[in-house]
Structures are given as C-alpha cells and as structure tokens.
Amino acid sequence: MGLLTLIIWTVFVNNVILSQFLGICPFMGVSKKLDSAIGMSAAVLFVIVLATVITYLLQFGVLVPLKLEYLQTIMFILVIAALVQFVEMVIRKVSPALFEALGIFLPLITTNCAVLGTAIMATQKDFNLLQAVVFAVGISLGFALVLLLFAAIRERLDLETSTPRYMKGMPIALVTASILSLAFLGFSGMVKM
C-alpha cells in the first residue's frame, strides 16, 4: 500500500487514541496544559519511532529465525523500558534544555501502551521496514494531533462554570473525548486498507 495512504489511515481514519484506545493514560493525564501536551507529543514521537524500528529488527532478525516468537511480549517491553532509560540519559547529556522540556514525560512513556501496541502491530501487518517506520510516524502524529486538540479544548473546559460538580475533571473530559471521537468517525471509509 502507498505510504501516504498509510499516514492518512493512521492519523485520521484509525486514530491511535480515538478509535484504537491506545495511550489513554497520557491522553487524559497530560492534556490539561497545551505546553505539556507539546512536550509529551514530541517525546512519544521520538520513542515510538525508535522502539518500532528496534523491535521490528529484533522480531524478524532474532525471534522469528530462532522460532522464539512466544517471547515477543517479554522482549519488547524490556527493549522499550531499556530504550526509554537510554534515551533519557542521552538527552540529559546532549541537550539539557531538551531534557528540561521532555524529562518528566520520558519515564511515563514506558507504561504508555501506544508504544508497545505500535511495536506489536507493526510486526503483525506484513510491513517492510520502511512501511513500519511510516506506520510509527503516522501513529505518533495521530497521537500528537488529538492530544493537542484535546489540550486546547480542556483549557477552555476548565473555565466552564456550568459543569455539575460531580462531572468536573475526568468525567466531563471523557464525554468531550466522546464527541471528538464522533467527529473523527467522519473520516472512516476515506481510505481503504
């Protein structure tokens, strides 16, 4: 399939947050401020693409030839945890300014199911390495798009005074996400996979 189709499919049609429900925790947790949403999106883009490349090579270079596919879950999560640690150390050494901005988001990413989810999906869909990379980029862009949209909505939502007390915070955020998800349903059928 074409690479552009793949990008449109992952960003709009089958959005990682709104239709695949991956990465809901950071989506709800860091979408209160636009600044932190930008930081999180950048960190996720970085880690997802790197993790997908490494796990793809691991899967088809080591696990499949050795017939060890059943170790996939354990290997992938270890690779991702190690990778996040490593990225954190590198960024701290190379660019303290970037570390200031991304630092607190990096440890959170290990338990972001979008990373492991993307890595597993990329090995299940008969992608070649280039398609896997584009797929990972598309997933991260979709994540960033929805996170930024939602952060902007939530900044307004906090100022809203007519929300009932018991719906404030998480419940109203979930209902808002539902409406956003409804809007994204309009993209379905735009491209065929």
Partner 1 sequence: MADSSLFKEFAKGTVKENPLLISLLGMCPALAVTTSLTNAVGMGAAVIFVLTMSNIVVALLRKIIPDAVRIPAFIVIIASFVTIVDLSMAAWVPSLSKSLGLFIPLIVVNCIILARAEAFAYKNGVARSIMDGVGMGLGYTLGLVSVAFFRELLGNGTLFGIGVLGEAFKANSVLVMILPPGAFLTLGLIVGFMNRIRRV
Residues that bind partner 1 (CB under 8 A): 18-25, 28, 70-74, 77-78, 81, 110-113, 116-117, 120-121, 164-167, 170-175, 177-179, 181-182, 185
Nearer to partner 1, 101 or 111 (CB): 111
Nearer to partner 1, 180 or 191 (CB): 180
Report CA Rg, the chain. 18
Least distance to partner 1, CB of residue 42, Å = 20
Residue 40 CB, shortest distance to partner 1, in Å, is 16
Handedness of CA 187, 188, 190, 191 (dihedral sign): positive
**Phi, psi (5° rounding) for residue 81?**
-60, -45
* Of 182, 147, 125, nearest in space to 34 by CA: 147
Positive or negative, the Cα torsion across 120, 123, 125, 131? positive
Smallest separation, CB 91 to partner 1 (Å)? 19
CB of 3 to partner 1, least distance (A): 23
Closest CB to partner 1 among 5 and 181? 181
- What are the DSSP calls for 45-67, one per residue? HHHHHHHHHHHHHHIIIIITTTT
Q: Which is nearer to partner 1, 94 or 189 (CB)?
A: 189
Least separation in angstroms between CB 97 and partner 1? 27
Q: How far apart are CA 135 and CA 154, in angstroms?
A: 28
Which tokens go with 25? Answer: 């925790």
Choose between 96 and 107: whose C-beta lies nearer to partner 1: 107
